[in-house]
Each structure stands twice: as structure tokens, then as C-alpha cells.
Amino acid sequence: MKKTLSLILALVLMLSLNVTAFASDLGGSKDVTAKYEQNESEQPIYNVDLNWGDLTFTYTETTTKVWNPQTHTYDTTTTGNWDKTEAAIKVTNHSNVSVDVSMSVAPVQGTGVDVTLTGGNATLTAGEVGNVDGAASVTGTVKVSGKPNGTVTEAGIKVASITVTIE
């Protein structure tokens, strides 16, 4: 019985070592794929024109003397006026991105000259391809008034500072 059992066990071991592999179950095919991708980027380019108008204002006083024969004195009349009362500051956006523009004025006190600024604050849209003349712009207007006191000389002095900020 031991011999029979040993013989069966040897036969089982022998059958387990003999494995057949079928080649038709191995291998296969796979497609090779190529792709094309185009990346286009646009860098922001800033190009802004800042046109300062003539910010020099001249106040002229004219004194007229008329002889008074009864008092043997001159009767004087003085009138004064500005050569102009306003000037423009214009900002034009030729960039490919929008920009924010703000203008402000800081008057110098004690000169007798009043300086104001109106307008000049806006968001200017980006330029359009081929439309140079249609570029977005904003204009601020500087105005002067009043009668200059003795601190204002013929050579001229600063009566205000204008600041233009572009972001």
C-alpha cells in the first residue's frame, strides 16, 4: 500500500510539472498616437500717450492813468486778466490691456491763484487691432482764477502740482 501511494504521489508531481503554454494568448497590438497643440500667449504691452497742455498761465495787469486837471493828480484804473484760463491734459491708451487713469491737483497756498482740475479719471479700454485713431482717451482740464499776490513774479512761480497716475 505504501508503494501504491508513493506511486500515485509521484505521478501527481510529474503531471504538475508539465504545463503547456499557448502562444495565441500572449502578445497583441497597440496604436501609436501623435497630437499637435498650439499655445499662443499674449503678453501685456503698455503704451500710453500723456499730452500735457501748456500749463503756464500769465496774469496781466493794465493800469490806465488819466490826468485830473482839477486836482493835478492822476486817476488810475487797474484791470487784470489771464492770458488763458484753462489747459488740457490728455491720456490716450495704445496698450493691449486696459489702464486706470486718475488725475489730481495740489494747489500751493498763499499765492492768490486758485487752481482746479476737472475730469481726467477713467478706465481706458485696451486698443483695438487696426484702430489707432479710435484709441480710448480721457482729458482733464486745469483752470486758474483769482488775482495773484506779490509772491507771483514775472519769472513765474509754482502755484500747483498736477499728478497723473496710470495703473
Q: Can you give the three-state secondary structure of 56-110, one letter per residue?
A: CCCEEEEEEEEEECCCCEEEEEEEEEECCCEEEEEEEECCCCCEEEEEEEEECCC
pLDDT at residue number 68: 94
- State mean pLDDT over 57-73: 95
Q: Is residue 150 part of a domain?
A: yes
Categorize the per-residue pLDDT at 4 as very low, low, confident or very high, splitting at 50, 70 and 90.
Answer: low
- Structural domain span for residue 82: 48-56+65-166
pLDDT, tens digit, 9 for 90 and up, residues 116-142: 999 999 999 999 999 999 999 999 999
- Percent of all residues in the chain with a pLDDT value above 70, rounded to a whole number: 85
Is pLDDT of 21 > 70?
no
DSSP reduced 3-state for 162: strand
115 CB neighbour count, 10 Å cutoff: 20
Which of 23-32, 88-97, 105-114 bottoms out in mean pLDDT, i.e. has the lowest? 23-32
Q: Is residue 125 part of a domain?
A: yes
Q: Is residue 159 part of a domain?
A: yes
pLDDT at residue number 14: 62
pLDDT at residue number 46: 95
| Contact status, residue 98 vs residue 44, Cβ threshold 8 Å | no
53 CB neighbour count, 10 Å cutoff: 15
| Contact status, residue 54 vs residue 92, Cβ threshold 8 Å | no
What kind and span of H or E run contains 143?
A: strand 137-146
Which of 10-14, 33-37, 150-154 bottoms out in mean pLDDT, i.e. has the lowest? 10-14
Q: How many domains are contained in the chain? A: 1
Q: Is residue 9 part of a domain?
A: no
- State mean pLDDT over 25-35: 85
Q: Is residue 39 part of a domain?
A: no
Q: Is residue 78 part of a domain?
A: yes
What span, in angstroms and rounded, lies between the C-alpha atoms of 148 and 114? 9
| Contact status, residue 126 vs residue 135, Cβ threshold 8 Å | no
pLDDT at residue number 42: 84
